[in-house]
């Protein structure tokens, strides 16, 4: 669900361009604060908080909250949670800019973020991007074998590979049609 949350400009404030580095710092701070704020409410509704993203696209800011549960997510669940989150976010007043609140399922190619995700999705095809090259590569596609000793085990296209968990830039399920 997409919902515009309006914020009034700060008194005496002037508009200024925010640099990429400052934007990243602000974005990460907001994502961390929002995650801590919304996680209890999400769990209260019997849902899993998959991810929180605070991103600028064009001139607009978006706060995206991705939720899931074993039996899947539908529009009614997203709408109900969006309404509750909107109220909670207004009360907490952590974001000073106008933004659109979006609550949705992570989709078929959901990101794998937590260690538990790598256990839950064993046997599924995934794609991993790393910060630095591992065994000469930064992109891996294969069948997830699990997570052991902080190593993601993957049966890759050219054989088995162990990727340090702290080197994961991103990981997601891949859907084959």
Instruction: Specify the pTM.
Output: 0.77
Give Dmax (Cα) for the chain. Answer: 61
| Residue 147 near residue 153, CB atoms below 8 Å | yes
Classify 96 as helix, strand or coil. Answer: coil
Domains identified in the chain and CATH numbers: 2-104 (3.30.300.70), 115-173 (2.30.30.180)
Share of the chain above pLDDT 70, in %: 88
C-alpha neighbours within 13 Å on the C-beta side of residue 86: 19
Per-residue pLDDT averaged across 78-105, rounded? 93
Entry field: residues in the chain: 177
| Residue 169 near residue 131, CB atoms below 8 Å | yes
Averaged pLDDT score across all residues of the chain:
88
Report the alpha-carbon distance of residue 76 to residue 82 in Å, rounded: 10
How many other CB atoms sit within 10 Å of the CB of residue 95? 19
| DSSP letter, residue 27 | H
Residue 95 to residues 66, 126, 155, Cα–Cα distance (Å): 18, 34, 42
First to last CA, the chain: 27
Per-residue pLDDT averaged across 18-26, rounded? 68
Per-residue pLDDT averaged across 23-47, rounded? 91
Per-residue pLDDT averaged across 153-176, rounded? 94
Show Cβ contacts of residue 139 under 8 Å, excluding neighbours closer than 6 positions: 127, 128, 129, 130
């Amino acid at each position: 669900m997409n919902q515009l949350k309006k914020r009034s400009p700060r008194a005496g404030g002037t508009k200024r361009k925010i640099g990429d580095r400052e934007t990243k710092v602000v974005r990460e701070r907001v994502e961390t604060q929002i995650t801590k704020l919304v996680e209890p409410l999400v769990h209260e509704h019997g849902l899993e908080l998959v991810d929180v993203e605070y991103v600028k696209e064009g001139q607009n800011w978006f706060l995206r909250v991705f939720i899931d549960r074993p039996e899947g997510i539908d529009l009614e669940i997203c709408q109900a949670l969006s309404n509750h989150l909107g109220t909670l976010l207004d009360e907490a007043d952590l974001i000073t800019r106008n933004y659109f609140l979006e609550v949705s399922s992570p989709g078929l190619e959901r990101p794998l973020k937590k260690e538990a995700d790598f256990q839950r999705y064993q046997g599924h095809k995934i794609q991993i991007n790393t910060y630095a090259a591992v065994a000469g590569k930064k992109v891996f596609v294969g069948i997830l074998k699990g997570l052991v000793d902080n190593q993601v085990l993957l049966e890759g296209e050219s054989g088995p590979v162990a990727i340090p968990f702290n080197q994961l830039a991103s990981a997601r399920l891949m859907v084959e049609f």
